Amino acid sequence: EWRQLVMLNYEVEPALLAPFVPLGTTLDSWSGRTFVSLVGFLFDRTRVVGIPVPFHRTFEEVNLRFYVARAVGGESRRAVTFIRELVPRRLVAGIARYAYNEPYASVAMRHRYGAMGEADMPASIEYGWRAGGSWSRMHVTPVGTGRVAAAGSEEEFITEHYWGYTRQRDGSTIEYRVTHPRWRVWPVAEVELTGNLEAVYGPAFGAVLSTSQSSAFVADGSAVAVSRPTRLVDLAPPSLGR
């Protein structure tokens, strides 16, 4: 399960993301705007190939991601791809790097929730991670009542992605499917993001994350299934001259 997702979204120039777009996909946008999102959430009841691993069932993740798409027949597979993913479990990070070549790193992490409100959402949500010799934190205060994101809305664009693409070491791309029901989203009244962001994300993305968000909201989350990865066989990496 992925639970209590905090989504901080930043509009950026497409040129910033172009070097990170996996082969076979194109940069996706909403209403002509290109976004990166800093997303924090809690893994719960985690299983690897259906097997629960002791001491690795509940833990935090904070990731920096952006949005791509791939045309398959008449279908547009709207997807995410990642700049950096943080978890506190070395085994989880190692499996993700080995099986998917995902850009995971293992760091000290923590989370804190306020009292659960009547709307099934904590009064506050905070995720923290230690990097560069100090703690960084994202903290939000949800307000109102959760609702399923409206069709065509920015909230739907950010939350409703059911595919992932990852560039491999040889330049090729793998594809995997992410299955979950539609999530409810809440607006937030207060957002704090502090810490040494460049230590994890580098100067360019650290500068982006130091600006004001274009939008911010939270989602309740759900049970999630991530498929085994499949290499895109109809493409060849640039090193093969195709």
**What are the pLDDT digits (tens) for 218-232?**
999 999 888 888 999
pLDDT at 43: 87
Half-sphere exposure of 35 (CA within 13 A, CB side): 25
HSE-CB at 218 with a 13 A cutoff on CA atoms is: 33
SS3 230: strand
pLDDT reading at 53 higher than 60: no
Q: What is the mean pLDDT of the chain?
A: 89
Choose the most confident range, by mean pLDDT, from 48-62, 87-101, 107-121, 153-167. 153-167
When mean pLDDT is compared across 2-6, 73-77, 202-206, the lowest value belongs to 73-77
Distances (CA, A) of 238 to 43, 169, 171: 36, 12, 7
Position 57 scores a pLDDT of: 60
- For the whole model, what pTM was predicted? 0.90
